[in-house]
Chains A and B, each alone.
Chain A
Amino acid sequence: MTATRTSTGRPHPSWFTRFWAVVRYEMLWNIRKKKFLGLVIVAFIFATLSWVLPVVLSATTDQAINANPEYAVTFTIPGIGIFLFALITAMNSISSEFESGTIVPLLTKPVSRSMIFLGKLLATFMIILVTYTILFVYVVIGGAVVYGPQNNLHLVPLGLFGNILSTFVWIAIILAAGALSKSTIVSTLVALGVFIGLFLAVPIIAVFAGPSPVLNYLPGSGASGTMMTTQGPITVGAGTDGIGANLINYALYSSANVDFNTTNIELQDGQPLITQALAYSEPISVITSRSVATAVVYTIVFLFIAWIAFKWAQILE
């Protein structure tokens, strides 16, 4: 140990080491959250039920389970699941650093705010990637056990990728709300508001205004249509939550068209009569690429807002 030191006397420490420290910091924070562990358990329970229930039913009704070689490849995390995973991994990420005051010792370490932001983002990505991968592997194995040999397993990573992209739309929105408000409650309410609002509004708009093209550019479930395939009709969601399923649909039925219908309710002889009429029809390729592009744009825009808001946030506490 020397008696005097100079700022120039130090060897310059690695930026990567410092960045990786932020990633570790965030990962430990996240995986020790009870909410997160709870959600993972619930997700695995649902996945398990989806193939245990048919086994139980067949045992009680003495009917053999139909083989379903497409079970694994068509598996996708539903919109609500995607939203919840995003909410629980991202809701505390930025806002609670401000709320708990832990931001102060963090920002006085030799890491920049941009490094902290990107480190948190990478940690979130890794956590989602690992959790989803385990979930998908679990579903493939379970599906093979219950529904027999599975087809097109090489496409499963495509669905996984799609689900991650869908999740990041919500993560970006939540991070932006968190960095702007510095409040976990506000950012959670904003995210929930957007999610529920769209969830309720989209079908209502669809009834009154028809499957308006605007719906295709909103985050969430989006307009819903029907695709005729050799395996029968498949429901297709055009929003950002459906990317995983749509990538698979596109890979399996690349030339299929999706029909979007308008619902009409008329009164005839005092009785309501509900009729459906074809509004328009779009190739699955268009729907898939548009939802991917929309998701990428939302993710980039909201992450950018979050980054800038975090970089300029004042530490007043």
Chain B
Amino acid sequence: MDLAIETNGLTKKYGSLTAVNKLDLKVQRNTIHGFLGPNGAGKTTTMKILVGLLKPNEGTVKVLGQELHGSKNGGVLKWFYEQADSRLSIGYMPELPKFPKHLKGAELLDIYGQMYGMTQQQRKEQIPKLVELVGLKGRENDLIGKYSKGMQQRIGIAQTLLNNPELVILDEPSLGLDPVGMVEVREVVKEIAKEGRTVLVSSHLLFEVEQICTHVTIINRGTALVSDTLQNVSGLLSGPAMLHVEVAKISNTIVNAVKKLPCVTSVVQTGDTLRIQMETHEDMRAQVSQEITRSGGIIVAMSQKTSNLEDVFIQLVSKDQGGKPQ
């Protein structure tokens, strides 16, 4: 398994408070990995360790195959350059990012691009694309001091992509945005992941993670409660799924045919709607619709009610709290 991020026993303490507690985080390459947890769970702290802003008290961190916070010796040059090169292929957007107010949006991207060692030619090609991608076109020559919160988030996303990174780490990219902005940011995040990138995105909002991620890690009090594909996590604690099918030209033949399917436990008919109780939480819509069509029915609408991430999240977190006061 090719991992973009791998932490083992990662622990970070602020004085007596343990913000991250023996965290094992594994992020596979080419996935959108949601990092989900309530406020104060340790998401930001973990991400800061991943980009080298904080040093862990214990544990190891490997990002894109490179050991971070490793050996201290390596001569004067290494002392001078630190691990700057390890950040060449990583784009990071801090939680509520702050950029110098006296710079214009395009200037900021140009200077940051130069910090990645990009040539003027490369920057000239890349920056207009990024400005367009995050929806700041027409405002790129305004001073950042005049940007709204949402625009600062957008430029924050744009600056992560300057050097065409392999790994993009976004700390609550939709924090403080209005609903329209949140939708747009989700679209951008999906766009970012298209070009073979790995995206680690934190959020305390479940529906957000549910809509964009392929994988999820749920963290609470500094420890991962579960880490898997979105599908498996959603199905983790859910009972069997329930299908609601609206059928035109409904008949007893159809109902009986559906009942006979091995994955179906029971069928209740109300008017044109069949409520089908499934045996598993897996997605069986294809089989069911095939059977209905074969029996002469026409499906007008179909929806599957599975327990969503929210249910999993609430169950896991409340279990983890173990009745102790928060």
* A residues lining the B interface (CB < 8 Å): 1-7, 10, 12-15, 17-18, 20-22, 24-25, 28-29, 32-33, 100-102, 104-105, 107-115, 314-316
Contacts and interface: CB of A to CB of B under 8 A. Distances in A.
B53 A20 contact: no
Contact of B53 (A14, A107, A111, A115): A107
A18 B196 contact: no
B107 to A, nearest CB: 7
Nearest to A21: B114
A17 B119 contact: yes
Given A21-B115, A24-B114, A102 B84 contact: no
Contact of B84 (A105, A115, A316): A115
Interface centre among B66, B94, B103, B117 (most CB of A within 10 A): B117
Interface of B: 14, 29-30, 48, 51-54, 64-66, 79-90, 92, 94, 97-103, 107, 111-119, 156, 159, 163-164, 166, 195-196
Contact of A25 (B53, B79, B92, B111): B111
A112 B279 CA distance: 57
Contacts of A108: 51-53, 87, 90, 92, 94
B134 to A, nearest CB: 15
A18 B82 CA distance: 14
Which 3 residue pairs of A and B lie closest in terms of their CB atoms, listed nearest first? Answer: A13-B117, A21-B114, A101-B98
Nearest to B91: A108
A32 B102 contact: yes
Contacts of A7: 64-66, 88-89, 166
A104 B85 CA distance: 17
Nearest to A6: B166
A13 B122 CA distance: 12
B117 A110 contact: yes
Contact of B118 (A4, A13, A101, A107): A13
A314 B48 CA distance: 11
A110 B87 contact: yes
Nearest to B96: A101
Contacts of A110: 84-88, 115-117, 163
B111 to A, nearest CB: 5
Contact of A109 (B80, B87, B100): B87
A262 to B, nearest CB: 50
Contacts of B89: 5, 7, 10
A184 to B, nearest CB: 14
Contacts of B48: 315
A104 B30 contact: no
B53 A13 contact: no
A176 B102 CA distance: 24
Contacts of A32: 102
Given A2-B196, A105-B97, 8 more contacts: A3-B196, A28-B111, A102-B99, A102-B100, A104-B53, A105-B99, A112-B80, A114-B82
B95 to A, nearest CB: 9
A10 B88 contact: yes
B97 A17 contact: no
B195 A3 contact: yes
Contacts of B64: 7
A101 B196 CA distance: 31
Nearest to B98: A101
Given A24-B111, A104-B98, A315-B48, A112 B119 contact: no
B80 A114 contact: yes
Contacts of A25: 100, 103, 111, 115
Nearest to B100: A102
Given A105-B159, A110-B84, A18 B102 contact: no
A314 B54 contact: yes
A20 B114 contact: yes
A112 B102 contact: no
Given A17-B119, A104-B53, A112 B98 contact: no
Nearest to B155: A105
Given A5-B196, A109-B87, A18 B92 contact: no
B290 to A, nearest CB: 34
Nearest to A109: B115
B195 to A, nearest CB: 6
Contacts of B112: 21, 105, 109
Contacts of A29: 100, 102-103
Contacts of A22: 115
Contacts of A18: 84, 114-117
